Amino acid sequence: MEPILNRNDFEKVLKSERAVIYVYVDWSSYASQTGLRIKEEAERHFQRTADPEVSFWLANVSDLDSPAAFIADWLRRQESEKMRMFPAIGTGNGSIVWLRNGQPIGFALSASHLGVDGVRAKTKETLFGLSQA
């Protein structure tokens, strides 16, 4: 798991074929503890099993001075009728955004609501087109 600390880090995310961004606020124990743990467990699963690779990233959007605060504007511009991400990412839920070749293709309001199995299943479905049978 790599933190997004600046625009150069974010460029790496956008160049990844398959990426998962965990968007959190540090003032929410729900997002910074429970959701983060769930994301880390799902990430370990993909590090052991995924081929091709999936990159996992952390985006702290706690306030305007946070390292990845600029991502909020980028995500806002990516919204479509099919994928509404705002104002959800700043509410402390620990949201997840799935990207393929730099384009958001999936969103979950809360990693905690999905749980580890749900995050793994949604990652497989969204990034690899595989559904749990």
Per the CB < 8 A criterion, the answer to whether 114 and 122 are in contact is yes
Tens-digit pLDDT profile for residues 67-90 = 998 988 888 787 765 566 655 665
Q: How far apart are CA 132 and CA 41, in angstroms?
A: 18
> Which region among 11-15, 39-43, 95-99 has the lowest average model confidence (pLDDT)?
39-43
Tens-digit pLDDT profile for residues 96-124 = 999 999 999 998 888 888 999 999 999 99
- Can you give the residue ranges of every domain in the chain? 2-128
CATH number for region 2-128: 3.40.30.10
